[in-house]
Structure 1
Amino acid sequence: MRETFIDLGSVNAPSGVLVLGMAGWMDYWQELGQPLSERAGTAAASGGGHLREWLCEAVAVPAAGDRPLAVRASTAPSPFDEEPTIAVLEVSLGIPWPEHGDRSVPVRLGDLPVDRCGMVIGDASGLDAGRGMDDEPADGLADVTYWGRYADDAYAQFGGERIAQYGVDGPHGWLDLPLAEAAARSAELTAWRDRLHGKGLMVSIDEHTDFHRFRRAGWHHPLRVGAIEVGGCQVLGIEWDQGDHSIRHHGERDADQVYPVTLEADGAGEMVLRWTIPPYDFDEE
């Protein structure tokens, strides 16, 4: 059966090097010795390759630096809730397949786990500027949300808008607060919960790091995909459904839950980066 693909958007790679990697560790490469762009540039210069150090993993490939690069995916039902999840992720690289290369044989670059924190696709140099989950927000702002058993009681006391997300009502809370105000509201909610209930209300304060901005950009997409600017480049983030991850991808590299990444030729003879995640076999449950 022919795969049906949906458009996820586009990225650009002005450095000529594109990365598909684990979003949870996008800012950690330099802590381990070399910036991501240097490692990725070396791999791309030899036609592409897999990067791995400690818990950080990515694949880097050469790409056209002068045009948008289309990203698309086919889907399969999740064993968690039967909602669509990514089965094949493709990125058009905008450069021709090597003149003397065999277009009929995919080139395997390695494999990648599905990061519980999501995946990122973007320019290698742009991602050097990425702010991870523990970094300071560039704009000095944060979002505060709350949910749980006593959310209605908290709403009656404190208010807050309903923050809708795809397929669900979403939590209550406040977006784009200065950090000091966000911290004060979070502390007020937590103190109220502890004083009256002890538990039953979850409170989250999410500073505007690039990691959170990825997640927020995908709130209204059925596959949790969103585009933001990082280091002057358009980058896509993909947040993974936590229920689907727990059933299919839990343990990641340590549990051998990894999936092949290949370079292939499209119908026009241009290179495509392809990450293939086999659909769940419901018959083997």
Structure 2
Amino acid sequence: MMDAVGSEFVQIGEVTAPSGVLVLGMAGWIDYWSVIGEPLSRRAAAAIDSGGGYLRQFECEAVAVATSSDRPLPVSATVATSLFDGAPTIATLQMDLGRPWTTADQTTVLLGDLPVDHCGMLLGDGAGLDSWSGIGSASIDALADVTFWGALAQEAHGEFGGRDLAALGRPGVFGLLDLPVPEARQLADRLAAWEADSRGRGVKVSIDEHTHHHLVRRAGWAHPLQAATIETAGCQVMGIGWSPGDHAMRHGGERAFGQVYPVTLVPAEDGGTLLRWTIPQQ
């Protein structure tokens, strides 16, 4: 578990890229590439053929690079404290691509820039991400989670049961996880209609079907950087969330307001190649 703030890189997980093509992209739009044109894997492979680089169409943005296909690829980060809400936040995201630096020139290569998506970021195999189920998709396993919170959450917990999710990184939130979708919908309706007192007060309720998007965010609830990996299409994909306060104050408006940050290839000291996304404190 990462608990340090400073300039040292700390490993936060590993991903795999069996196709040899790695993508860093915006989680909120990752499943839209095939809706508006060719699948992400084809676009990423074409970018690799020309040396790797930046992909964009409408709101969809990503960077694609070639990587080793036969080993886990470590992901690390330097961490800063947000000046706005005190939460830990990524200052630099870095990945060892598992391949050598191929030129004598040690100059950093700029691939493009990316905004911080308020829905989070994804790092994973281009082909694997073609099967990613995003926001609003149907459950991949016919299950869903119901969570509730608010001033009367403890009373609702006594009435409806569920788990205190504080140990999973959600203080003040209770939930019933991994329910069949019809049962989860019925429970969410009951919670929404529930009134605990004569003033008609109840709780806030959320129902989240088991999309890849939800499951990777759930896996990262307890991580300081909301970072976690899950498997999709035989690939380990990393999702990274963002503190809502930090995003609103530092990254709100994203590309439209110029809040974009460089993605580069950097030569490693051991002769390898690193992918690096640098997000300076402001």
Give the structure-1-normalised TM-score: 0.93
Are 2:39 and 1:64 equivalent residues in the alignment?
no
Residue 40 (structure 1) shift: 0.4
**Higher deviation after alignment, 181-190 or 157-166:** 157-166
Aligned to 1:245, what secondary structure does the other structure show? helix
Partner of 2:138: 136
Q: 1:166-185 maps to which residues of 2 (within 5 A)?
A: 169-185=171-187
Aligned to 1:60, what secondary structure does the other structure show? strand
Cα deviation per residue 1:214-265 (whole Å; 9 max; x = unaligned)? 1011011111101100111001000111011011100001010000000011
Aligned to 1:264, what secondary structure does the other structure show? strand
Residue 165 (structure 1) shift: 5.2
Partner of 1:42: 46
Residue 170 (structure 1) shift: 4.2
Partner of 1:269: 271
Q: 2:17·2:125 contact (CA, 8 Å) conserved in 1?
A: yes
Matched residues in 2 for 1:11 and 1:56: separation?
22
Matched residues in 1 for 2:196 and 2:56: separation?
43
Residue 80 (structure 1) shift: 2.3
Partner of 1:27: 31
Return structure 1 stretches of 4+ with deviation > 3 angstroms: 165-168, 193-200
The 1:17–1:140 alpha-carbon spacing in structure 2 relative to 1, beyond 3 Å, is same
Residue 268 (structure 1) shift: 1.0
Partner of 1:17: 21
Q: 2:78·2:90 contact (CA, 8 Å) conserved in 1?
A: yes
Letter paired with 1:16: G
Matched residues in 2 for 1:244 and 1:272: separation?
26
Matched residues in 2 for 1:209 and 1:197: separation?
36
Q: 2:142·2:210 contact (CA, 8 Å) conserved in 1?
A: yes
Count of equivalent residues? 277
Aligned to 2:71, what secondary structure does the other structure show? coil
Letter paired with 1:24: G
Residue 273 (structure 1) shift: 0.5
Cα deviation per residue 1:141-195 (whole Å; 9 max; x = unaligned)? 0000000122123223222210125665241110000001100100000111499
| Partner of residue 78 from structure 2, selected from 74, 82, 91 | 74
Matched residues in 1 for 2:210 and 2:170: separation?
22
Matched residues in 2 for 1:195 and 1:25: separation?
41
Runs of 5+ consecutive residues of structure 2 not aligned to the other structure: 1-5
Cα deviation per residue 1:85-105 (whole Å; 9 max; x = unaligned)? 10000010011112x3411x1
Give the structure-2-normalised TM-score: 0.94
Are 2:128 and 1:126 equivalent residues in the alignment?
yes
Cα deviation per residue 1:3-33 (whole Å; 9 max; x = unaligned)? 3011111101010100000011111100011
Q: 1:79·1:247 contact (CA, 8 Å) conserved in 2?
A: no
Q: 1:121·1:236 contact (CA, 8 Å) conserved in 2?
A: yes
Letter paired with 1:121: L
Q: Identity of paired residues, percent?
A: 54
Q: 1:75·1:87 contact (CA, 8 Å) conserved in 2?
A: yes
Letter paired with 1:7: Q
Matched residues in 1 for 2:148 and 2:104: separation?
55
Matched residues in 2 for 1:157 and 1:80: separation?
37
Matched residues in 1 for 2:251 and 2:199: separation?
35
Matched residues in 2 for 1:169 and 1:245: separation?
20
Residue 76 (structure 1) shift: 0.9
Matched residues in 2 for 1:224 and 1:269: separation?
31
Partner of 1:252: 254
Matched residues in 1 for 2:49 and 2:198: separation?
61
The 1:184–1:195 alpha-carbon spacing in structure 2 relative to 1, beyond 3 Å, is farther
Residue 82 (structure 1) shift: 1.9
Aligned to 2:256, what secondary structure does the other structure show? helix
Are 2:100 and 1:96 equivalent residues in the alignment?
yes
Matched residues in 1 for 2:167 and 2:32: separation?
29
Letter paired with 1:218: G
